[in-house]
Structure 1
Amino acid sequence: MSNDDGLPGHSHDEELARDLSLFDITMIGLGAMIGAGIFVLTGLAAGQAGPALVMAFAFNGFITIFTGMVYAELGSAIPEAGGGYLWVREALGRSQAFLAGWMSWFAHAVAGSLYTLGFGAFVHLLLTEYFGIALFQPLTIGLQGVTLLSLGPDKLFAVFAGGLFTYINYRGAKETGLAGNIITIVKVAVILVLIVFGFGYIFDNPTQATGRFRPFLPRELSGVFIAMGLTFIAFEGYEIIVQSGEEVMNPKKSVPKAVFYSMSIVVTIYMLVAIVLIGSVTVTPELFGLAQEGAAEGVHGGGHLPPVPSNIEDAAVWEILGHLGELGLARAAAQIMPYGTVIILVAGVFSTLSALNATTYSSTRVSFAMGRDHVLPDMFSEVHPEQRTPYLATALSGALIIFMAVALPIEAVAAATDVMFLLLFLQVNYAAIVIRREWGDEIDYGYIMPWFPYVPIVGIVTKLFLAVYLFNYSPLAWYGAIAWILVGFGIYFLYSRRRVRETAIAEETRLITEERAGEGRGYQVLIPLSDPENTAQLIRTGSAVARHMDGEILLTSVATVPDQTPLSEGRHYADEQQEILDDAMRYVPEDVPAHQTVTIGHDVAKSINNVAYQRDSDLVLLGWRGERKRFSDYVLGSTIDTVVENAECDVSVVKTDGAPESSRVLVPLADGPNTQLAETFAAAYARAGADVMFFHVVTDDTGDDAESFLTEKQTTLAEEDLNSSITVQEGEDITQTILDYAREEGFDSILIGAAGEGILRRVLFGEIPETVGMRFDGEVVMVRKHRPVRSAVKQVIGKWLGKGAKTTVPDE
């Protein structure tokens, strides 16, 4: 194989980095589903279903599993950016795809509006009741005595949140994987604590608790169906999971697992919360008075709720919760656990903000994909030259989120969101039938749904039933949905249909390389390049090791884009990285096969680790400037630390000094797991013509043992016809002894194995190698052998306890 320059044995391509693990995408699903559904909608839904709220959540979980299986199948078979929009396009054509994308954009944007409204209500209550801050009265805008718009403090807080996260997504700033996982874990923990306290009360007071569940169906099945439709948004997190399919490691296994794991956890939690909310809350005068105020103001869908009884003795818990609306769970929590209201409000604030960030991100990606597909104006697909984010798509999505938050009451916003998602899922279920029948033999499925085609048919029937039934609750939501769909059809037939696509979606988004090993030799050295000044030195070292192991080298340079921008768009920024690689090829020896790939990812370190995993690399070789990070969470730097700690292969870090070659190499050795790798490097340097000296420092009279240890290493090289020498030095300070000897004898390089590895404390190569690397003026090569069992333990502990840890484990 040859490259464009005609060099034999060299090849290049480009690939997208997969940097989300099963844990990460399961957390994404949980974060999306355990949000507004519990913190905002539980009270509203209780007012509709009564004690049968438990049944509503159970039924929602049951009917959702059918579409969940569809998403698991298609997400495992076609793990690409676009999700439902892409599947509908391939199966049902351009017009249906436009409608799917149009509704998906609206659904995610309106979901964002719901989260902003929940945030506004929670912050309003915290400021007024717990901090004693007096806020202004709602501003009303009316016409001829009719109130058209009421803008209170909660709405202004909602507008602020919507504007803030629009700006964050425009800037490309992201909620990191660790921070997002922590928020999800914290809010799940809060809900679990609430459940534990609630069941403690129920077990202590079984008679009173069970009495609150009678009658179980106070509003018959119609109330259950309305509650199901109202809270259906809580069970659509798998849509966001598959939206990330292009960036998931091992998507054929991870995407289906994440869908089913997240759904199982969420349905169980929702049902338990419903039991606790009905069974452990007493109607107190305070709750009764607040419910009366809500009913008098006509908020929270009061027209769809029975009036509050005139006497507190006649009031049921579920009736009170319904009139408390989005604050139902927060108000009730004060009875369930200490400081319950404050805890739920604070958790709700963070939950709604993290969910708002996710939906702003999702709505932006959908509209961006439609702009790139030329069915919306090209401005939707424009990427900011500096921020590298789809800034116009972000701005328009943010504007839609803010408008819906201001214009509609919260229950109408929730209903409109559910209608759109239900209609979108109708299309996806039908698309799954078409794709299986048309291309089932040509697609490599990671998961296949059972009972085809009955599963998607049941999904279609149940989603259509719920969507139609929601008209009984909120005609306004349906009018808004119909208006949006009609506007969409008008845009499509007047504008989009005449546009000609430049390239097919499959060509734009499908991975060029998918989890394959490097071509050629069995041993591969991966060399990430970014700084032209150390390129020659890294390639010289990597080539020496590859030659000695009868292997090859793989050069990569990472083009990064923010999370808000799909990875496939990173190809527009790959030219600079390709120039680095093309220039680097002139340093590659002719007798060493070399490949090159531009990697496109959101994070440099994760991208490097995933290239190593996908290409089955044996060694990652990194460059280092020789500075240790004394006052940060990192030791050698954020990229180096993350790669070294999480790589699924051996790692070497080269402190570069710009020298074109290394003629004299000092190799300090001590018995340990990294000695073998240090010997391999020493042999590689010796084969390249360098003088190699094995070196050991003793701090007592064990010199004879040390000398025999080094002689054994010297003999190993001699068996390969490679020359080396040995020396033993005494010294109290091992680091200083190594440095003094290397300087006095004029060595160019020091090659040293890792001296230790920490579990809770961040240690990369150990104090001695890292200090030598920092203080020696010449080249320093630090090596660390991969130990799978210990690395796995460290990653698990680091994920939960490690400061700044990031998950890059390829398979959970």
Structure 2
Amino acid sequence: MTLNSSLRRHLNLPAVFTVSLGAMIGSGIFVLPGLATELAGPAAIVAYFLAGLIVVPAALSMAEMASAMPMAGGTYLFIDRAMGPLMGTIAGFGVWFALVFKSAFALVGFEGYLDFFVDIPVEWVGVGLAVLLTALNSTGVRVSGRFQTIIVAAVLGVLGFIVIGGASTTDTAVFTPFAPEGVGGVLAATGLVFVSYAGVTKVASIGEEVKNPSRSLPIGMLGSIGLMLILYPALLAVVVGNVDPAQLAGDPAPMVTAAGKFSGTIGQDIVAITAILALVSMANAGLLSSSRYPFAMARNSLAPRIFERVGTKSGTPTVSVLVTGSVLVLLIATVPLVELAKLASAFQVLVFSIVNLSVIAFREANVPWYQPGFRSPFYPYVQIAGIAGVLVLFTQLGFFPLFGAIGIVVLGWIWYRLFGQSRVSHESALLDALRLRATSRLIDLTRDALSLEGRDHILVPVSDTISSNRLRNLLRLAAHLAAEDGRITVARVDRDVEGALWWRRTVFPQASDPFRVGIRQIADDLGIDVGVVRPRGSDVRGAVNDYIARHAVDLVLSYQSDVSRRRRGFAASIRWLQEHASCDVAVLHRRLIGELGHIAVMGAGSPYDVMKIDVGNRLASEPESTLAFVHVLPEDSTDPQVDAIEKYHAQLEDLCGAVTSSSVERSPEFIDAIAERGRGADLVILGASRRMTGLGPELTDNIAEAVGTPVLVVSSRNPGTPGLLRSTLERLIY
């Protein structure tokens, strides 16, 4: 991934720190304390601290990704690269939506503090401030950053004054009982105040405008959340200890009320002004960061290109700032923001879990360009704890916010389908990570299979009409696949006069039986020992499965020839065994094998079943034999998909003892491509499965007919064979 910057880097570490703080200091402490204490009592102090701890893993993850990708877009960019353009679009659209609503909410949330000075509609003031902030951000990030630094410094000074001054007048008796609503109340309050910390990740979206981002972004983000982890609980302790609990529950300006206990009217005025400045600072941080999302999405073809325009003098994404500011003004003037801000907050909670998952995807994918200057400590335990904590928190938000989060996801999906899907082609680090893990698992299983000597007991069911040449073919294959001390047993299946298959109840007669004599002659030619049985019972399918279980058969090797009327019952039974036998099954289709000079293992999409590689490698053990790995992928397969299969083939070539070759190609016609590749082979090996994810019998018949050369179809029942879920996942990631 090439990180080309088109924005100017003006922001230093203090600016990053104050932007991050400004995004957190706001409604979380100036509006929410009353609501939090109503839910949890004095234990709301713990709720603030617990909410901060839940955010820490996401902050660590964001700091790591921001140091690796200091580009405009922040959360959107990270999720897009980690989880793919669909998830990136949903995150970009949703986080932009959430930040704009929270900024609008901040500009009308200081109504209780504004009332101390003037009695005018807060919406008018909010619209005026939104226009001012939009103009300020359009002039350049340097001016906006200085404005943010001044405001946050002033706010921090006043908040420190409140903590120090309020500590002396705090009534400790109000802290008993500490948690009247129990753990449930604390969790509910945690879900409410979680949004107080959510702004810590906003600063990552302006990473492209930060000087020395690999140092400034992690220090600024983690330093700011560390400070707030101390400041928020301390402020709430002062508020709870200085305001009557009954008054606090409905107080729109709890900080002012608390300040009045130890600083009088002057102190209240100072705190009211500070609250207004803090909320304006939060709105400014939200506008500054949210305006970078359309810019970043446009640069990745997920939004109209007009959002990509950068002002020649200001060096900022001017169009994106103006459009975001216009939406902000419109929302303040027309929309009931309180409930919609709750919807936005629920989506941000969801995004935090995806942020933690994104770091896991990057780390596990070993993406070459992912070289963070800061790495999250205690990986991956911190991220896993963060995901679990956020999911628990998600259950505390209530139905309406959850419904809103789902609605934002749906809107983002619709935007991607209508606008972005046809314009993007890159894949995600998550897919890379899943492919690496899946391939590593398959290679380990293949190595284990190839290290074994061979099959311990091979059962070869044949009909009483089998030709000598076909029987020789089957026993030749069995000789290659059996272990040195393994058993090979031929089971002769006869028909009665009515055409129903059954096992004769008598043992073989004298040694002069022509069938037995023929087997002995073939076995002597191949240098192997072969047993012959006629298991008892009238149900051939049940009898075979019973024999498999009783005699520890680990491979059934049989054939499908032309399905004449005489052989239709035998063919149906072999097909049934392919789908239901309790051991591996290999079926030779129709044509006879000549030499085993060139063997082709065929695959489509996902990697091979281990059994195909094991069988192919053992059959290619003859002198001058070669083994070809052939994969035919859909025509729309991406370059990373092709590359993943090619790397998989390369690892297989290192494992196999035979002389190998590899071919991976895209084709719109799977059967035609397989047939073309298979026509030059002496034997083609295909995989079939009893599961719906495998090649069905009709498809394997069609391929065998199209190839025109002998085809061996293998069906694995090994415990390592992927189940339906894993098979489906492999087909999706490859």
Instruction: Tell whether the 8 Å contact from 1:47 to 1:320 is kept in structure 2 after alignment.
Output: no
TM-score relative to the length of structure 2:
0.54
Partners of 2:262 and 2:5 lie apart in 1 by 55
Instruction: Tell whether the 8 Å contact from 1:120 to 1:156 is kept in structure 2 after alignment.
Output: no
1:445 aligns with 2:372: yes
Q: Which residue of 1 aligns with 2:418?
A: 494
Q: Which residue of 1 aligns with 2:200?
A: 238
Distance change >3 Å, CA 21–CA 415, structure 1 → 2: same
Give 1:360 shift: 1.1
Instruction: Tell whether the 8 Å contact from 1:253 to 1:446 is kept in structure 2 after alignment.
Output: yes
1:103 aligns with 2:94: yes
Q: Which residue of 2 aligns with 1:433?
A: 360
Instruction: Tell whether the 8 Å contact from 1:166 to 1:360 is kept in structure 2 after alignment.
Output: yes
Q: Which residue of 2 aligns with 1:22?
A: 13
Instruction: Tell whether the 8 Å contact from 2:131 to 2:329 is kept in structure 1 after alignment.
Output: yes
Give 1:399 shift: 4.0
State the one-letter code of the partner of 2:360: I
Q: Which residue of 2 aligns with 1:477?
A: 401
Instruction: Tell whether the 8 Å contact from 1:120 to 1:158 is kept in structure 2 after alignment.
Output: no
Partners of 1:349 and 1:171 lie apart in 2 by 23
Give 1:17 shift: 5.4
Instruction: Tell whether the 8 Å contact from 1:67 to 1:459 is kept in structure 2 after alignment.
Output: yes
Partners of 2:76 and 2:182 lie apart in 1 by 37
Instruction: Tell whether the 8 Å contact from 2:166 to 2:259 is kept in structure 1 after alignment.
Output: no
What are the Cα deviations for residues 783-804 of structure 1, in whole angstroms up to 9, with x where unaligned?
A: xxxxxxxxxxxxxxxxxxxxxx
Distance change >3 Å, CA 369–CA 29, structure 1 → 2: same
Distance change >3 Å, CA 172–CA 447, structure 1 → 2: closer
Q: Which residue of 1 aligns with 2:175?
A: 213
1:70 aligns with 2:61: yes
- SS in structure 1 at match of 2:117: helix
Q: Which residue of 2 aligns with 1:249?
A: 211
1:263 aligns with 2:225: yes
- SS in structure 1 at match of 2:104: helix
Q: Which residue of 1 aligns with 2:254?
A: 328
State the one-letter code of the partner of 2:23: A
Instruction: Tell whether the 8 Å contact from 2:362 to 2:370 is kept in structure 1 after alignment.
Output: no
Instruction: Tell whether the 8 Å contact from 1:195 to 1:276 is kept in structure 2 after alignment.
Output: yes
State the one-letter code of the partner of 2:42: P
Give 1:120 shift: 4.1
Instruction: Tell whether the 8 Å contact from 2:96 to 2:290 is kept in structure 1 after alignment.
Output: yes
Q: Which residue of 2 aligns with 1:31?
A: 22
Distance change >3 Å, CA 226–CA 417, structure 1 → 2: farther
Partners of 2:419 and 2:12 lie apart in 1 by 40
1:375 aligns with 2:375: no
Partners of 2:316 and 2:9 lie apart in 1 by 19
Partners of 1:92 and 1:173 lie apart in 2 by 29
What are the Cα deviations for residues 727-785 of structure 1, in whole angstroms up to 9, with x where unaligned?
A: xxxxxxxxxxxxxxxxxxxxxxxxxxxxxxxxxxxxxxxxxxxxxxxxxxxxxxxxxxx
Q: Which residue of 2 aligns with 1:277?
A: 239
Structure-to-structure mapping, 1:635-654, within 5 angstroms: none
Q: Which residue of 1 aligns with 2:339?
A: 412
Aligned residues, how many?
425
- SS in structure 1 at match of 2:373: coil
Structure-to-structure mapping, 1:609-648, within 5 angstroms: none
Distance change >3 Å, CA 480–CA 405, structure 1 → 2: farther
What are the Cα deviations for residues 487-510 of structure 1, in whole angstroms up to 9, with x where unaligned?
A: 221121122212257x9999xxxx
Which 10-residue stretch deviates more, 400-409 or 335-344?
400-409
Instruction: Tell whether the 8 Å contact from 2:8 to 2:315 is kept in structure 1 after alignment.
Output: no
Distance change >3 Å, CA 162–CA 182, structure 1 → 2: closer
Partners of 2:316 and 2:221 lie apart in 1 by 28
Give 1:14 shift: 9.8
Q: CA RMSD in A?
A: 2.9
- SS in structure 1 at match of 2:155: helix
Listed as ranges, the gaps of 5+ residues in structure 1 are 1-12, 129-134, 136-152, 203-208, 284-316, 507-812
What are the Cα deviations for residues 574-632 of structure 1, in whole angstroms up to 9, with x where unaligned?
A: xxxxxxxxxxxxxxxxxxxxxxxxxxxxxxxxxxxxxxxxxxxxxxxxxxxxxxxxxxx
- SS in structure 1 at match of 2:251: helix
Give 1:176 shift: 4.7
Partners of 1:404 and 1:215 lie apart in 2 by 42
Partners of 2:191 and 2:81 lie apart in 1 by 29
Give 1:268 shift: 0.4
Q: Which residue of 1 aligns with 2:123?
A: 155
State the one-letter code of the partner of 1:264: G
Give 1:390 shift: 3.9
Q: Which residue of 1 aligns with 2:79?
A: 88
Distance change >3 Å, CA 162–CA 322, structure 1 → 2: farther
Partners of 1:375 and 1:444 lie apart in 2 by 25
Instruction: Tell whether the 8 Å contact from 1:115 to 1:355 is kept in structure 2 after alignment.
Output: yes
1:126 to 84, 97, 117: 117
Listed as ranges, the gaps of 5+ residues in structure 2 are 430-734
Partners of 2:386 and 2:5 lie apart in 1 by 39
2:351 to 407, 418, 424: 424
Partners of 1:40 and 1:408 lie apart in 2 by 20
State the one-letter code of the partner of 1:102: F
State the one-letter code of the partner of 1:247: E
Give 1:109 shift: 0.6
1:185 to 144, 153, 158: 153
- SS in structure 2 at match of 1:337: helix
Distance change >3 Å, CA 164–CA 478, structure 1 → 2: farther
Q: Which residue of 2 aligns with 1:168?
A: 136
Partners of 1:90 and 1:20 lie apart in 2 by 25
State the one-letter code of the partner of 1:70: S
What are the Cα deviations for residues 77-132 of structure 1, in whole angstroms up to 9, with x where unaligned?
A: 2222222211211121110110110111012111102211124443233214xxxx
Distance change >3 Å, CA 364–CA 416, structure 1 → 2: same
Partners of 1:261 and 1:167 lie apart in 2 by 29
Partners of 2:296 and 2:62 lie apart in 1 by 19
Indicate the structure whose relative CO is greater, using CA pairs within 8 Å and at least 6 residues apart. Answer: 1
Identical residues among aligned pairs (%): 30
- SS in structure 1 at match of 2:123: helix
1:49 aligns with 2:17: no
Partners of 1:216 and 1:260 lie apart in 2 by 30
Partners of 1:457 and 1:358 lie apart in 2 by 29
Q: Which residue of 1 aligns with 2:166?
A: 198
Structure-to-structure mapping, 1:306-317, within 5 angstroms: 317=245
Partners of 2:34 and 2:227 lie apart in 1 by 21
- Name which one, 1 or 2, has greater alpha-carbon Rg: 2
1:457 to 373, 376, 384: 384
Partners of 1:388 and 1:243 lie apart in 2 by 15
Partners of 1:164 and 1:24 lie apart in 2 by 20
- SS in structure 1 at match of 2:109: helix
Instruction: Tell whether the 8 Å contact from 2:67 to 2:373 is kept in structure 1 after alignment.
Output: yes
Which 10-residue stretch deviates more, 67-76 or 191-200?
67-76
Partners of 2:8 and 2:307 lie apart in 1 by 24
Instruction: Tell whether the 8 Å contact from 1:108 to 1:359 is kept in structure 2 after alignment.
Output: yes
Instruction: Tell whether the 8 Å contact from 1:106 to 1:420 is kept in structure 2 after alignment.
Output: no
Partners of 2:148 and 2:216 lie apart in 1 by 19
Give 1:70 shift: 0.9
Partners of 2:423 and 2:367 lie apart in 1 by 30
- SS in structure 2 at match of 1:201: coil
What are the Cα deviations for residues 263-297 of structure 1, in whole angstroms up to 9, with x where unaligned?
A: 1111101010111111122x3xxxxxxxxxxxxxx
Q: Which residue of 1 aligns with 2:523?
A: none
Q: Which residue of 1 aligns with 2:630?
A: none
- SS in structure 2 at match of 1:445: coil
State the one-letter code of the partner of 1:377: P
Partners of 2:238 and 2:127 lie apart in 1 by 33
